[in-house]
Amino acid sequence: MKLLSLLTLAALLAAPLAAEPKGSDTKGKFYFKKSCKTCHVEHGKAAVLTPLSKTQGQWRKVFDAGKHGKSGEGFTPKYGTAEQILDIKTFLINHASDSPQPETCGG
Ligand code: HEC
């Protein structure tokens, strides 16, 4: 009986997350710092970017288009493997400005 209610609870909690990207949030944070913050930092080659820079919808658009900036180049393979880019996408969407857990990632 207890196990069944736990399973029901787990299913209820998981349901709203179903539409979210399935990558690893933790790895995404690591790869974002490693592959994106090299340029997207203060005094870097590009504008500062943190998860807070965009809303969940805006990040989704960036990654659904799959193109980096104006260049029209894909995120893969230049900025990481497909799996790493999915992790970055997951991290950015999970901590976007309108997400339940906004995060600056050190600014
Ligand atoms: C080698 C430097 C470099 C790296 C690494 C880099 N970017 Fe960029 N990025 C740029 C430059 C320069 C621009 C601005 C010119 C343009 O739009 O192409 C840009 C533009 C962008 C834009 C559009 C501008 C905006 O604010 O909406 C987004 C989004 C973006 N980058 C995301 C990323 C992500 C995510 C990563 C890591 C997967 C990444 N970038 C890695 C240099 C870089």
Distance 89 CA to ligand 1 centre (A): 13
| Confidence at residue 42, expressed as pLDDT on a 0 to 100 scale | 95
Q: Model-level pTM greater than 0.95?
A: no
Which residues form the domain of 41?
23-107
Lowest mean pLDDT among 1-5, 11-15, 35-39, 47-51: 11-15
Q: Angle 29-89-101 (CA atoms, 0-180°, nearest 5)?
A: 65
Angle 61-88-9 (CA atoms, 0-180°, nearest 5)? 90
pLDDT tens per residue across span 66-103? 999 998 899 999 999 999 999 999 999 999 999 999 98
Q: Cα of 18 to ligand 1 centre, how many Å? A: 28
Distance of CA 17 from the midpoint of ligand 1 (Å): 27
CATH number at residue 37: 1.10.760
Asked whether residue 81 is assigned to any structural domain, the reply reads: yes
Average pLDDT over residues 17-38: 89
Average pLDDT in the chain: 88
Could you report the per-residue pLDDT of 58-67, keeping only the tens digit for each? 999 999 999 9
Has residue 52 been placed in a domain?
Answer: yes
Question: Which residue's CA lies nearest to atom 40 of ligand 1?
Answer: 36
